[in-house]
Amino acid sequence: MKEERPSVSEAELLAEGEECVLPSGDHISSPLPLLATGELVPFPAVVMSLIVRGAEGIKALQASSRDSDDYLILGVLVQDAETSALDPETIEEIAVLGKILRTTSLSDGSIKALVQGMCRVKITSLKVKKGFFHAEFRPENLDKQLAFSAEHEGLIHRIMENVRVLVDHEFFPEELLVILENAEGPAEITDILAAHHQLEPQIGYPFLEDFDPLSRLQLVDDLLISTLNRFLIGERLRVQAEENLSSEQREYLLRSQLRLIQQELGDELEEDYEGLEELRELLESSKLPAKVKKEADKQFSRLERMPSESSEYALLRTYLEWLTDLPWAKRSRERLDLKRANTILTKEHYGLDRVKERIIEYLSVRKLRRDPVGPILCFVGPPGVGKTSLGRSIAHATNREFVRISIGGVRDEAEIRGHRRTYVGALPGRIIQGLKQAGTKNPVFVLDELDKVGSDFRGDPSSALLEVLDPQQNSEFVDHYLNVPFDLSQVMFIATANTIDTIPEALLDRLEVINISGYTREEKLHIADRYLVPRQLDSNGLAKFSIAFEKSALTEMIDRYTREAGVRNLEREIGTICRKIARGYAEGKHRKRKVTVEYIHDCLGPTRYDPESTDEESVVGLVRGLAWTTVGGELLPIEASVAEGRGALILTGRLGEVMQESGKAALFFARANAERLGLDPKFHENKDIHVHVPDGATPKDGPSAGIALVTALVSALSNRRVDKDIAMTGEITLRGNVRQIGGLKEKALAALRYGISRIIIPFDNLKDVEEIPQQQRKKLKFIPVKHVNEVLDIALLDGTPSHKKISKRESKKAKVSSKSPRARQKRGSM
């Protein structure tokens, strides 16, 4: 605590215009505008917030800011005085000099002023000018030292102890202790404590009119003792009353008070009461499970006791409304008519026989057993092949509701499990939201883009999906928002993905993967004629007109304007044609009835893709490899060239690590078998070999280009041409064995597009030939090989063929079992 330095003597009367100096160094002169503080007693060393409404008070504030450097006199009204009259007799003699810190104009015309009390003053003259008081005054003298004794020290100590007790009981704020410890002696201590008591004028004015700080110290001590005694007695009586009050009496008292409050609030509270009754009825009729019912009753009891103005009231009510909106017991009546289901699937989707067969199998099991474990199907295939729409057809065939959510790009685990209710704006996760949207507990639920789920510091959504997609666990799925179990076991989950490479192993283990390959040209033609054209004619208002698309026109769009595994872009181009026809009908210019190739060119402009063809001649070092992509198969030319050098192997064309390793393995095989292949045994010492895979801007990777790389290297080193009518795919080992690859269907169809009918494939892939549509299979000749020597004998010209043809009996002995879909896709990237 700082040393006391104020004096108790009064200064000489200031003549009008005469200045005095404050401790802050500011110069002030008498007279100053006077503002009456009403029921508030002002004190020095205290900042006061005043609401000024009267015209005289507003004028005084404005004059102070304009003429007196924000200084004014804060006066106290005489008890029972009229506040509306400008009468000097209504103002007490002792006042406070104040300084305006800030003013704010309010919407009702009043002014809010923040004023700092400076020191006590004695009003010597009070006049009314320009509609407000002007006061001449004497300030207290601040120069004389106090006669401070040990008794006063003890008094201050007792005051501080009593303040601490009241702070501990939350009568005073904790900040008051800090303010008192930094006060400059007894004068400020007494003024601060008197101000914090917010005394009425008849009690507070004696503290203000006493200029002696030591005298005021005794007054404050008496005030604190009286306050503390009243407070402690009241606390003791309250505790005793609570202990003596039984629970029945307490409830009766509270309910009586609640009825009185309801009567006061009137209609508004009656509406809240009616809303709660409606919510109670919904909870009773929702057929909640036992655990959920117990939690709902508990939260509803809390809601009843909670005032509607509470911030938690709306949150709790929203939570209970979510509980009533969810389909705890409501199910769709499932139709198990196998013939009807097969008809719907065939009508709405062309091909996809394996998928349709799996759905019919599921319905057959449901027909024989009413509570089987639901499958978790995962359709994997390129974009636009109908994975999502297939889920809608399944819902139609089984008479279930359909829900679709896209989880591609989701990185927050709470998107799946929901947010905890402690967070602002919390909601259930997408699974629970989807079930609310469906309105039943057994919908067909499509999780789109499963392979594009991400993760970051907010959690891993794929880990949350482990519980959702596990038939053994999802019967008790707990959303963080609901915090009660919900049965997902009757939901038919269907996931879609473009690839399974990015799906975590643990999640993939819970899925039944069904691969959906890209469409052939004939399939696209059939889909366009049967589905896409009628749909676009109807969407563009042309269904009532007899408009036909020639087959050649559809084929032109498929070959020259779109290049994709699915039919999404094809439908867009058909839509463009239909819109141009619709414009002609709307303007009355022409009424097109038949869409021809010429009209396609007029509407769509120049073709986007050139006809797919290969080089006309067989050349040295050029091999036609085959690659798999997410949008279908592609022909992959591989070029090799030899020049004098020091044995360097150069690989270009943005090749991935696996493909570069295949190139190195191919080179080492050629070195190890140089004599048998007719190569210079020392070619690796004096020749540089460059292998390039166009186009150079596209990344490429995968092991299935192994036999193509060997063929290109041996062709370039031996100067033997490669047959231009042969394409090939297969992985090699250092011993020259040819291993199985994936994506054979897409690769074979790509070769057929380029006019190549002979394809060298690994012997173990013979079983995959059956997946290729019969119409295309008849146009292709597959040559199965087990060793790379057979490949070289077949593909290289100007040599003597020595490969042994595979007999029909040996072909039938090929293993029928396929490798896991994940392994096939990993090899299928090339």
Active site residues: 704, 747
Helix, strand or coil, per DSSP, at residue 429: coil
- Residues 669-673: contacts with CB within 8 Å, 24+ apart? 669/710, 669/732, 669/734, 669/736, 669/788, 670/710, 670/713, 670/714, 670/717, 672/734, 673/736
Count the neighbouring beta carbons within 10 Å of the beta carbon of residue 519.
Answer: 28
Q: How far apart are the first and last CA of the chain?
A: 84
Helix, strand or coil, per DSSP, at residue 676: coil
* 731 membership: H or E segment, kind and range: strand 731-732
Residues 776, 77: Cα–Cα separation, whole Å: 106
Residues 139, 137: Cα–Cα separation, whole Å: 6
Residues 541, 549: Cα–Cα separation, whole Å: 16
Is residue 122 within 8 A of residue 110, CB to CB? The reply is no
Name which of 613, 621, 612, 577 is nearest 595 in CA terms: 577
Is residue 442 within 8 A of residue 331, CB to CB? The reply is yes
Do the strands 758-762 and 781-785 form a parallel or antiparallel pair, or are they unpaired?
Answer: parallel
Question: Which strands form 444-448's sheet, in the order they lie side by side?
Answer: 402-406, 444-448, 492-497, 377-380, 512-515
Q: Is the peptide bond before 611 cis (omega within 30 degrees of 0)?
A: no
For CA atoms 57, 90, 189, 23, the dihedral sign is positive
DSSP-assigned letters across all residues of 759-770: EEEEGGGGGGGG
407 torsion bin: left (phi>0), alpha (psi -120 to 50), beta (else): alpha
Half-sphere exposure of 798 (CA within 13 A, CB side): 11
Residues 501, 435: Cα–Cα separation, whole Å: 29
- Residue 139 neighbours by CB under 8 Å, 6+ apart: 11, 20, 22, 97, 119, 120, 121
DSSP 646: S
Residues 519, 385: Cα–Cα separation, whole Å: 7
Residues 483, 429: Cα–Cα separation, whole Å: 12
Is residue 382 within 8 A of residue 523, CB to CB? The reply is no
Count the neighbouring beta carbons within 10 Å of the beta carbon of residue 89.
Answer: 9
Size (the chain), residues: 830
DSSP 381: -
Residues 600, 555: Cα–Cα separation, whole Å: 11
- Residue 61 neighbours by CB under 8 Å, 6+ apart: 33, 35, 52, 72, 100, 103, 111, 113
Is residue 485 within 8 A of residue 293, CB to CB? The reply is no
Structure tokens at 533: 């054209």
Task: Supply φ then ψ for residue 687, to 5 degrees.
Answer: -125, 140
Is residue 636 within 8 A of residue 709, CB to CB? The reply is no
- Distance, CA of 43 to chain centre: 55
* 52 membership: H or E segment, kind and range: strand 47-52
DSSP 737: B
Structure tokens at 814: 């090929």
Structure tokens at 79: 């008890």
- Residue 349 neighbours by CB under 8 Å, 6+ apart: 356, 386, 389, 390, 393
